[in-house]
């Protein structure tokens, strides 16, 4: 049975861990807040006091941490990584992932970025979308593991291409949600029935399934029990803007959206589902 070390057991990390246990993997888990490992430990995982404790028995280290700098810090604390593959599945910048790959190489390990699209429900079902970046042979070696988390793991290209795919998709999440919120606000202000509007939108080429997923939340103003929070959406949008500028892409039109999301900082909206940005588009 494969032994895996999982560093980071937040909403997504815990779901990935549960999925790995369900398919028969032996799992070591660590989180800065040890209480966040409780569910996985109860399900059969071994809790680590320090992130490097499980390396002797693990050939793969999956990280699902908040960002690139935190991931680099934790991986750096592991020491020598000979014979081990580091697989970061959280969102980070392109430049951050390239730098981390170099760091892992210096520590003697191999590296495969594998950010995912999807959240807790998809992770538990093994239906995440995995966008890997790295060497072909490393991807092939980790394919059986990734196949337990995604129906069709994809190698996008070299290190950085997986991170680019993830940032591009998360930017679309932010832009689509914002655009739909604005449309909904104007529709309601005009007195048009929302259901009538949706009857036109759904069969059109403009429709995206996420619209219906978020419509009920926006209409009821209920943003609790999130799979992806407003604060994380803001973080990832800022990361996209930074990487876009490094790549020479003019993404200045998104600066207003980033500023809008800043208004959620420190409020209940920040810890709610990202569709809570709908509350921010109320200009009254």
Mean pLDDT, all residues of the chain: 96
Per-residue pLDDT, averaged over 164-182, amounts to: 98
Q: Among residues 134, 159, 184, which one ends one of the domains?
A: 159
Output the domain CATH number for residue 125. Answer: 3.40.50.720
Q: Are residues 74 and 140 in the same domain?
A: yes
What is the C-alpha separation between 89 and 115, in angstroms, rounded? 4
Segment 135-150 mean pLDDT:
97
Residue at which a domain ends, from 159, 176, 208: 159
Distant-in-sequence, close-in-space partners of 208: CB < 8 Å, separation ≥ 6: 176
Res. 283 pLDDT band, cuts 50 70 90: confident
Do residues 171 and 142 share a domain? no
What pLDDT shows up at residue 54? 80
Domain that holds residue 188: 164-280
State pTM to two decimals. Answer: 0.94
Give me the pLDDT at residue 181, please. Answer: 98
State the CATH number of the domain containing residue 273. Answer: 1.10.1040.10
* Residues 153 and 172 occupy one common structural domain: no
Tell me: do 79 and 174 sit in the same domain. no
| Mean pLDDT calculated for residue range 234-254 | 97
pLDDT score for 177: 97
Same domain, 227 and 123: no
Model confidence band, residue 1 (pLDDT cutoffs 50, 70, 90): low
60 with 105, same domain: the answer is yes
Same-domain status, 227 and 273: yes
Residue 284 in this model has a pLDDT that exceeds 90: no
Give me the sign of the Cα torsion angle 260, 93, 3, 77: negative
Q: Report the percent of the chain where pLDDT is more than 70.
A: 100
Residue 134 shares a structural domain with residue 19: yes
Over residues 153-169, the mean pLDDT reads: 98
Q: Structural domain tally of the chain? A: 2
What does the pLDDT read at residue 46?
Answer: 97
Query: What confidence score (pLDDT) does residue 133 get?
Result: 98
Same domain, 12 and 139: yes
| Band (264; pLDDT cuts 50, 70, 90) | very high
4, 145 contact by CB (below 8 A): yes
pLDDT digits (tens, 9 = 90+) for 65-98: 999 999 999 999 999 999 899 999 999 999 999 9
């Amino acid at each position: 049975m494969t032994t895996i070390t999982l560093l980071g057991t937040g909403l997504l990390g815990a779901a990935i861990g549960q999925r790995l246990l369900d398919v028969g993997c032996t799992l070591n888990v660590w989180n800065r807040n040890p209480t966040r490992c409780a569910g996985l430990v109860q399900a059969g995982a071994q809790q680590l006091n320090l992130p490097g404790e499980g390396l002797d028995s693990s050939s793969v280290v999956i990280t699902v941490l908040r960002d690139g700098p935190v991931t680099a810090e934790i991986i750096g604390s592991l020491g020598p990584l000979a014979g081990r593959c580091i697989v970061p599945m959280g969102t980070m910048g392109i430049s951050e992932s390239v730098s981390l790959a170099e760091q892992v190489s210096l520590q003697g390990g191999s590296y495969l970025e594998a950010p995912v699209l999807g959240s807790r429900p998809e992770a538990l079902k093994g239906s995440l979308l995995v966008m890997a970046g790295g060497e072909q042979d490393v991807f092939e070696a980790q394919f059986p593991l990734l196949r337990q988390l995604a129906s069709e793991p994809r190698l996008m290209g070299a290190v950085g291409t997986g991170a680019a795919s993830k940032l591009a998709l998360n930017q679309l999440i932010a832009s689509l949600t914002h655009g739909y919120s604005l449309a909904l606000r104007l529709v309601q202000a005009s007195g048009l029935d929302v259901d009538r509007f949706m009857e036109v939108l759904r069969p059109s080429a403009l429709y995206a399934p996420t619209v219906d997923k978020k419509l009920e939340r926006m209409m009821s103003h209920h943003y609790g029990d999130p799979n992806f929070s407003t604060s994380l959406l803001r973080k990832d949008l800022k990361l996209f803007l930074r990487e876009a500028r490094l790549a020479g892409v003019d993404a200045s039109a998104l600066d207003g959206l980033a500023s809008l999301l800043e208004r959620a900082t420190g409020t209940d909206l920040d810890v709610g589902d990202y569709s809570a940005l709908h509350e921010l588009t109320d200009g009254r």
